[in-house]
Amino acid sequence: MITFVNRFTLTGDPEEFEKAFDSTAAFLREQPGLIKYTLSRQLDDPASYINIALWESADALRAALGHPDFGNHAKAMRGLAESHGAIFSPRLSFDSQPSEA
């Protein structure tokens, strides 16, 4: 499992960005390997967002981002925000939620 962290700095309207993100996320949810994601907005800087996504592997993420249709889905987001992403490998973790059996 890997973590993809993508930081967005808005250049457009926050509501439009969130709609564009949701549309792009709908496409990514259909791709193999996406486990979950969370888009969060910074409290002290409303023009700053971060997306944290868990993927089964770096190859699965790269395949999704390299899909021929991905650019069309991400185009609206790119017009509303600058982004910087990176892939991370888990090292330590904590989860207060009990796992479901």
Identify whether 3 is part of a domain. Answer: no
pLDDT at 48: 98
Residue 95: predicted pLDDT: 86
**Residue 2 pLDDT greater than 70, yes or no:** yes
Q: Is residue 21 part of a domain?
A: yes
pLDDT, residue 81, reads: 97
Q: What is the pLDDT of residue 44?
A: 97
Per-residue 3-state assignment (H helix, E strand, C coil) for the chain: CEEEEEEEEECCCHHHHHHHHHHHHHHHHCCCCEEEEEEEECCCCCCEEEEEEEECCHHHHHHHHCCCCHHHHHHHHHCCEEEEEEEECCCCCCCCCCCCC
Looking at residues 55-78, what average pLDDT do you find?
Answer: 95
Average pLDDT, the chain: 95
The more confident residue out of 98 and 48 is 48
Q: Model pTM?
A: 0.88
Residue from 22, 26, 16 nearest 79 by CA? 16
The answer to whether position 33 is within a domain reads: yes
Q: Domain count of the chain?
A: 1
Location of structure tokens 């997306």 = 51
Considering the domain boundaries, does residue 95 fall inside one? no
pLDDT at 98: 74
**Structural domain of 33:** 8-48+68-82
Residue 98, in any domain of the structure? no
pLDDT of residue 97: 82
